Amino acid sequence: MPNPEPPSVHNIEKAFARGEEQALRAAYKQHGNLIYTYCRRTLDEDRANDVTQEVFISAWRSRHRFDPAKGTLVGWLFSITRNRIIDNVRAEQRHSERRVNLDATELPTESEIDTIGNKMMIADALRSLPDRVRQVIMLHYFDDLTQGQIAERMSIPLGTVKSILRRGLLQIRRQLESAHE
């Protein structure tokens, strides 16, 4: 008999902390592409494959340290990924000193890794917003339209634009807060 309850986010996180294998699979399905994309934007493809693999293996083996009450699973995975990427870059830098065919200046700095990570977490929060809220946020912040221009473009009242922007930004901030360890 299958589990009568479809897994909620919280159920997955608790099951992960308890060591249920299905929760690892679910976490990989849900967050694998995000983690892998962080790696691909900071490392070459082969190393991105390796680091993504290491992140999930490491997270699973140290799952007793994950506390769902302190932050979300994706936030914890993201933190592990950042540290693994930095370790990997440092190792490459050490190797590059001994190899003439690798230019260490092509490797990202810690600051650049953090900047990419922060952008990805905000983009992840943005992706989870309803279509209309996301559209208004993108017009305002990506395309630099004023609230009045957005109202005209979308044929909605100015007050609605203001309300959507305020609500959307609040939702993004809440998601970032909940991810924080």
Partner 1 sequence: MSNGHLDPKGREVEAILRELDQRDLELFETPDQVWDGIEATLGLGETAPETVVSLDSRRWTGRRVLMGLAAALVGVVIAVGIFLAGNDGTRQVLATAMLAYDPVSFDRLGNAASGNASLVSQDDQLVIEIVDSRLPDPGEGADLEVWLIQPDDEGNVADLVSLGVVNPVEPGVLEIPASHDPAVYYVVDISVEPRDGDASHSGRSILRGPLTYA
Q: Which residues bind partner 1 (CB under 8 A)?
A: 1-9, 11-12, 21, 24-26, 28-30, 32-37, 40, 49, 52-53, 56-57, 60-61, 71, 75, 78-79, 81-83, 113-115, 117-123, 126-128, 130-133, 137, 141-142, 144, 169, 172-174, 176-177, 179-181
Look at the alpha carbons of 79, 83, 86, 88 in this order and tell me if their dihedral is positive or negative: negative
Q: In angstroms, give the least distance from the CB of 92 to partner 1.
A: 20
Q: Tell me the C-alpha distance between 140 and 137, whole Å.
A: 5
- Nearer to partner 1 by Cβ, of 24 and 107: the residue is 24
Look at the alpha carbons of 28, 70, 4, 18 in this order and tell me if their dihedral is positive or negative: positive
Is residue 117 within 8 A of residue 77, CB to CB? The reply is no
Q: Tell me the C-alpha distance between 38 and 95, whole Å.
A: 22
Q: In angstroms, give the least distance from the CB of 60 to partner 1.
A: 6
Q: In angstroms, give the least distance from the CB of 68 to partner 1.
A: 14
